Structure 1
Amino acid sequence: MSFGDPNNPYGQQQGGQPGYGYPQGQQPQGQPGYGYPQAPPVQPYGAGGFAAGPTEMPGGVKAARVMLFIIAGFQVIGAVLFFLTGAAISKAQDNPALKDDIQFKDLADFPTGGVYALGVAVLLWGVLAIFLGVKFSSGGNGIRITALVFGVITAILGIYPFVLVGLVHTVLAILIAVFVGKSDGSAWFTRQRA
């Protein structure tokens, strides 16, 4: 029976010979040879074979959530202003002293139902913002896409009809779209749920 070259430190050792580099009688027992792993390989995926995803909401997603709640607050304030404007126009239309005023004539011709409808639309947009913000912790990719579309539409509406008032809406909406659209936002909304 041949054990190879006895002077080769990397070869198989003979039975009674001590290991390479150890004094006689002090060779550690059970130590694997060179190149053998000490532990099983680390698996990057969970038990199901899917990526586990983040366990805590990323900072950008948290910021987008807060911005949705801020937009919802502004929407409620805007709805209240629309309802108050509708009530003021309705009351002014009944005032006989203002009926002859030429400047008021244009305002009086505007239907109060349209002002109330705008108030309801603004309020519903705020409710959608609250809904999206609440669903950020448990929602899936559909909530992410809806928040992205919400941000884009809000930014466009903030630019066009409400330039001065909508500047804050535009900035917040753009940030929402960016934070939700980033890779860590995508990883949060597409994570595996227990």
Structure 2
Amino acid sequence: MPGSVRAARVLAFVAAGFAVLGAVVAGALAGPAAAGAALGSAMPVIGVFTCALCFARSGAGAKVTAIAFAAFMILFGIGALGRGIPAGIVQAGLGIAIVVSLSQRQSGDWFRRP
């Protein structure tokens, strides 16, 4: 697995960890409704995480799906920033890094392998 794909995979795992941690903290501080809202805003992160689990054995479909979910991560992160939630910059930044990592030629060659 090339370094760019491995980096995107690690970033997806980190983003999923942040999403779960954010939902737990929101639930502890503000109740179950806040935990549900935090988990709902992290749905693209869960999608990228699911795709990242399949990077080692999947084809180009996993790459395209992960890029689409990462684009939604960027949009949700910018939306969180617009609502005044500073943690949205982390989600947007991780989404940008995942898109850039998966858009490189090395990752394209990896996902086109037989």
Which residue in 2 is equivalent to 1:90?
Answer: none
Q: What is the CA RMSD across the aligned residues, in angstroms?
A: 2.1
Q: Which has the higher contact order (CA 8 A, sep 6+)?
A: 2
Question: Which stretch of the first structure deviates more once superposed, 156-165 or 168-177?
Answer: 156-165
Secondary structure of 1:160's aligned partner: helix
Question: CA 1:123/1:135 → structure 2, altered by over 3 Å: closer, same or farther?
Answer: same
User: TM-score of the superposition, structure 1-length normalised?
Assistant: 0.51
Give the partner amino acid of 1:59.
G
Distance 1:143 1:62, change over 3 A: same
Higher Cα Rg: structure 1 or 2? 1
Amino acid paired to 2:88: G
Letter in 1 for 2:89: L
Give 5+ residue unaligned stretches, structure 2: none
Consecutive aligned runs of 4 or more in structure 1 exceeding 3 Å deviation: 122-127
Q: Which residue does the alignment assign to 1:49?
A: none
Q: Partner residue of 1:82?
A: 26
Of 106, 109, 112 in structure 2, the residue corresponding to residue 184 of structure 1 is 106
- Identify unmatched segments of 5+ residues in structure 1: 1-56, 88-111
Mapping for residues 1-194 of structure 1, pairs under 5 Å: 57-87=1-31, 113=33, 115-122=34-41, 124-162=43-81, 164-192=86-114
> Which structure has more helix as a fraction of its residues?
2
Q: In the comparison of the two structures, how many residue pairs are matched?
A: 111
The sequence identity of aligned pairs, in percent, is: 30
Distance 1:173 1:141, change over 3 A: same
Determine if contact 1:78/1:122 at 8 Å carries over to the other structure: no
